[in-house]
Structure 1
Amino acid sequence: MVEQEQGTGIRVEALSAEFTALAAQWAERLGFPLEHDEAAFAVQIGADGLQIQQLGPQAPGPVRVDFVEGQAAHRRQFGGGNGQMIAKAVGIAQGVRPQVLDCTAGLGKDAFVLASLGCQMTLIERQPLIAALLEDGLARARADDEVAPIVGRMRLLTGNAIEHMRAWQGEPPQVIYLDPMFPHRDKSALVKKEMRVFRPLVGDDLDAPALLEAALALASHRVVVKRPRKAPIIEGPKPSHSLEGKSSRYDIYPKKALKA
Structure 2
Amino acid sequence: MLLLLLLTNAFVLLPWAGAGRIIGGMVSKVRSRPYMAFLESKNATNIRNCGGFLIRPDAVLSAAHCVDMQGRPRVTVILGAHNISDEECSQQKISVARWFIHPQYSRERFKNDIVLLKLEQNATINEYVKCISIPKKNKHVRVGTKCNVPGWGWTSKEEDRTDVLREVELKVQKEKICQRTFSDYEPQSMICVGDEKRKKAVYKGDSGGPLVCNKKAHGIVSYGCDCNLFPEAFTRISHFAPWIHQQLKMFSLQDTPGSPSSD
Common fold by TM > 0.5: no
- The structure whose Rg is larger is 1
Please indicate the TM-score interval, normalised by the length of the shorter structure.
under 0.3
The two structures have a TM-score, normalised by structure 2, of 0.26
- Could you say which structure has the higher helix fraction? 1
